[in-house]
Amino acid sequence: MKIVQKEFGVSTHSRTEMVDVTSRIEAAVRDAGIHNGDVIVFCPHTTAAITINENADPAVVHDMLMVFDQVIPRSHPGYRHDEGNSDAHCKSSLVGCSEQILIHDGRLTLGTWQGVYFCEFDGPRSRTVIVQVRGE
């Protein structure tokens, strides 16, 4: 089994944002020359996340960010973390910092409406995404 690890940068432009990185993952898989296996997409940040969801209707991303804000408020009298970004830490753990996607015959086995998103919860910032492609 071959293992190829790469990383790429993502610049975010607002405090919360979901950036479609599907084409960057596809490029990393192509560059790795691995046709069957899997790819792990990992976010090495405590206030950001990786998820897979619909990339056809942009309203879905809007609605997800809105719901995250409703479930986890920006400020709360009980927060103790003095950086003022406790909501972003909570969202990061709720959504999760990685996804695993199968690669079959050189393609990501995503569903028709699925895309891979980098989720920013404390931007704007310059972020890094780590991609490890494994297989043959």
Q: How far is the CB of 89 from Zn ion (least distance, A)?
A: 6
Longest dimension (CA), the chain: 52
Q: How far is the CB of 92 from Zn ion (least distance, A)?
A: 10
Indicate the residue whose CB is closest to Zn ion.
83
The rounded distance, in Å, linking the Cα atoms of 130 and 73 is 29
Q: Is 85 in the site for Zn ion (CB under 5 A)?
A: yes
Site size for Zn ion (CB under 5 A): 2
Between the alpha carbon of residue 54 and those of residues 20, 93, 96, 133, the distances in Å are 10, 20, 17, 23
Q: Is 83 in the site for Zn ion (CB under 5 A)?
A: yes
Q: Is 132 in the site for Zn ion (CB under 5 A)?
A: no
